[in-house]
C-alpha cells in the first residue's frame, strides 16, 4: 500500500482526461451535420444503456427491481417531478418488502 | 413583442445558475449517498484508512471504477493493471463530454477544467436532458451537491463500517435508475425517435455486456443508439420525429 497515493494520482489522470479534453477541443472544431446529429442522440442513447440491463440488478432482487422500475415508469409517464419519481420508486419497493 | 426580444427572453429563462444546479442535483445526491456509504464500508473492509478512502472519492470521483479499484487492491492486482482498468471503465465519459461541449455556453478555460471534473453518468444525464444551453454556474451547482453527497457518504461508510440495513439498501438501490427513467420516459413520450434510440441502445448494451466489460459495452451501445437515431432522421423529416 506504499504507493497508494501514486495509484490515486494515476487513476485521476486516466479518469480526468476523457472527461475534460473534449470540452476544450470540440468547441474549436466545426462539426459536420452528421456528427451533430450523432451527438444530439447521445443523451438518450446513454440513458437507454445506463438503464438496461443494469436496472434489473439494481436491488439485488429481480422482483424488487421490477416493482421499482414499474413505479418509476408510471410516475415518469405522468410527468411528475423527478424527485417524486425517485422517492416513489424507492417507496414502492419498501412497501412491497413489507407486504410480500 | 418582436422575434428578437422573444428569443432574448427565452434565453434568459433558460440560463440556469448555481441554485438551479443544486436543485437539479438533489435526486443525484439521494442516489449517490447509499452507494457512497457502501463504498466506504468496502474500503474499510479492504483496510483503507479514512483518508485513503476519502482521497479516492474526492480525487477520482467515479463510482464504478472506485469499487473495481478497491476490489483489485484487495486481490493484489498490480497497480498498472488497476489504472488501465480504470481508464477503460471511464473512457465512456469521453462521449458524454463531447456532447456537453456543444451544449455549454461560452465559459473560461478554468471553468471548463473544473466542471469537466464533475462529469459522471448521473450529472451528464441530468445536464444533457435540460433544455437550452448550460452555464458554468449551473454545472458547478450540479456537480457540487453530487460531489458533496459522494464524499460525505464515503466518510460515513468508513466511520460506521456497517452498511445501511438490507431492506433500505434494496429499496434505495433503485434510486439512480428511477432517476434515469424519470429523465428518459417523458422524452420517449414526446418523440418516437428518442424512444427508438434509447431502446436500441438498451438492447445493444444488454447484448454487448455479455461479451465486453461494462465501460466498452456502454460506449458501443451508445454509438449504436446514436447511429440508429441518425439513420432515422435521414430517412424522414427530422423535425417531426
Residue B64 has pLDDT above 80, yes or no: yes
A82 to each of B28, B58, B117, how far by Cα in Å? 10, 27, 25
Cα distance between residue B54 and residue B41, in whole Å: 12
Cis peptide before B174 (omega within 30 of 0): no
Give A54's contacts in chain B (Cβ within 8 Å): 177
Best mutation site among A46, A97, A100 for testing chain B: the one with the most B CBs within 10 Å? A46
Alpha helices in chain A (DSSP H): 4-25, 33-51, 54-57, 62-77, 82-99
φ, ψ at A97 (rounded to 5°): -60, -35
Interface test with B, best of A47, A64, A94 (most B CBs within 10 A): A47
Question: Tens digits of per-residue pLDDT, B157-207?
Answer: 999 877 678 777 778 889 999 999 999 999 999 999 999 999 999 999 999
Q: How confident is the model at residue B213 (pLDDT cuts 50, 70, 90)?
A: confident
The string of pLDDT tens digits covering residues B65-87 is 999 899 889 888 889 989 999 99
Q: What is residue A1's predicted lDDT score, i.e. its pLDDT?
A: 60
**What average pLDDT does this structure show over A2-11?**
91
Please tell me the distance from the alpha carbon of residue A92 to that of residue A66, in angstroms, as a whole number: 10
A33 class by beta-carbon count within 10 Å (0-12 exposed, 13-18 middle, 19+ buried): exposed
A19, A73, A75 ranked by CB distance to B117: nearest: A19
Q: How far apart are CA B127 and CA B138, in angstroms?
A: 9
* pLDDT at res. A86: 92
Residues of B in contact with A34 (CB under 8 A): 230
Quote the ipTM score: 0.93
Q: Which of A14, A48, A83 lies closest to B83 in CB terms?
A: A14
DSSP state of A81: -
Average pLDDT on B88-95 reads 92
Identify the closest residue of chain A to B100 by CA–CA distance.
A23
Is A91–B171 a contact, with Cβ atoms under 8 angstroms apart?
A: yes
Query: Can you tell me the distance from the alpha carbon of B183 to that of B128, in angstroms, rounded to the nearest whole number?
Result: 10
The DSSP code sequence of B206-226 is: HHHTTTS-HHHHHHHHHHHHH
What percentage of chain A exceeds 90 in pLDDT? 74
Q: Which three cell numbers stand for residue A28?
A: 474549436
Does the distance separating the beta carbons of B86 and A11 come in below 8 Å?
yes
- Contacts B202 to A, Cβ<8 Å: 48-49, 51-53
Q: What would the mean pLDDT of B41-63 be, rounded to a whole number?
A: 93
Residues 6+ apart with CB under 8 A from A65: A55, A56, A57, A58, A59, B173, B174, B177
B128-163 pLDDT, tens digit each: 999 999 999 999 999 999 999 999 999 999 998 776
- Predicted model pTM: 0.86
Q: So what's the pLDDT on residue B160?
A: 87
Q: Which residue has the cell 438490507?
A: B166
pLDDT in tens, A7-33: 999 999 999 999 999 999 988 788 888
- What pLDDT, on a 0 to 100 scale, did the predictor assign at position B229? 95
Determine whether B1 is exposed, middle or buried from the number of CB atoms within 10 Å of its CB (0-12, 13-18, 19+).
Answer: exposed
CA distance B2 to chain A (A): 29
Asked if residue B158 lies in contact with residue B43, where contact means CB atoms within 8 angstroms, the answer is yes
Which residue among A47, A61, A71 sits closest to B125, beta carbon to beta carbon?
A: A47
- B3-46, pLDDT tens digit by residue? 444 444 444 555 899 999 999 999 999 999 999 998 998 899 88
The SS3 of residue B104 is: strand
Amino acid at each position: 500500500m506504499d504507493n497508494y497515493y501514486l495509484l490515486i494520482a494515476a487513476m485521476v489522470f486516466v479518469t480526468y482526461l476523457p472527461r475534460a479534453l473534449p470540452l476544450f477541443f470540440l468547441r474549436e472544431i466545426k462539426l459536420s451535420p452528421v456528427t451533430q446529429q450523432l451527438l444530439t442522440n447521445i443523451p438518450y442513447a446513454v440513458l437507454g444503456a445506463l438503464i438496461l440491463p443494469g436496472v434489473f440488478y439494481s436491488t439485488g432482487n429481480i422482483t424488487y427491481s421490477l416493482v421499482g422500475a414499474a413505479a418509476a415508469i408510471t410516475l415518469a409517464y405522468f410527468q411528475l417531478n423527478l424527485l417524486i419519481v425517485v422517492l416513489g420508486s424507492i417507496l414502492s419497493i419498501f412497501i412491497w418488502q413489507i407486504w410480500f | 413583442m418582436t422575434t428578437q426580444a422573444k428569443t432574448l427572453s427565452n434565453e434568459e429563462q433558460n440560463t440556469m445558475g448555481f441554485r438551479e444546479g443544486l436543485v437539479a442535483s438533489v435526486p443525484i445526491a439521494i442516489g449517490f449517498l447509499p452507494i457512497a456509504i457502501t463504498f466506504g464500508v468496502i474500503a474499510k473492509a479492504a483496510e483503507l484508512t479514512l483518508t485513503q478512502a476519502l482521497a479516492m472519492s474526492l480525487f477520482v470521483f467515479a463510482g464504478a471504477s472506485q469499487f473495481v479499484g478497491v476490489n483489485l487492491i484487495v486481490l493484489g492486482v498490480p497497480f498498472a493493471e488497476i489504472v488501465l482498468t480504470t481508464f477503460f471503465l471511464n473512457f465512456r465519459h469521453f462521449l458524454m463530454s463531447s456532447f456537453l461541449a456543444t451544449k455549454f455556453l461560452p465559459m473560461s478555460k478554468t471553468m471548463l477544467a473544473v466542471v469537466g471534473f464533475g462529469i459522471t453518468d448521473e450529472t451528464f444525464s441530468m445536464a444533457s436532458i435540460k433544455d437550452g444551453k448550460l452555464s458554468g454556474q449551473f454545472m458547478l451547482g450540479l456537480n457540487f451537491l453530487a460531489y458533496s453527497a459522494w464524499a460525505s457518504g464515503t466518510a460515513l461508510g468508513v466511520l460506521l463500517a456497517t452498511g445501511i440495513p438490507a431492506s433500505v439498501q434494496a429499496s434505495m438501490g433503485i434510486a439512480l435508475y428511477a432517476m434515469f427513467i424519470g429523465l428518459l420516459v417523458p422524452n420517449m413520450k414526446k418523440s418516437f425517435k428518442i424512444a427508438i434510440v434509447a431502446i436500441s441502445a438498451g438492447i445493444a448494451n444488454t447484448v454487448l455486456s455479455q461479451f465486453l466489460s461494462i465501460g466498452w459495452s456502454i460506449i458501443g451501445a451508445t454509438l449504436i443508439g446514436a447511429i440508429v437515431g441518425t439513420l432515422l432522421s435521414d430517412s424522414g423529416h427530422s423535425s417531426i420525429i
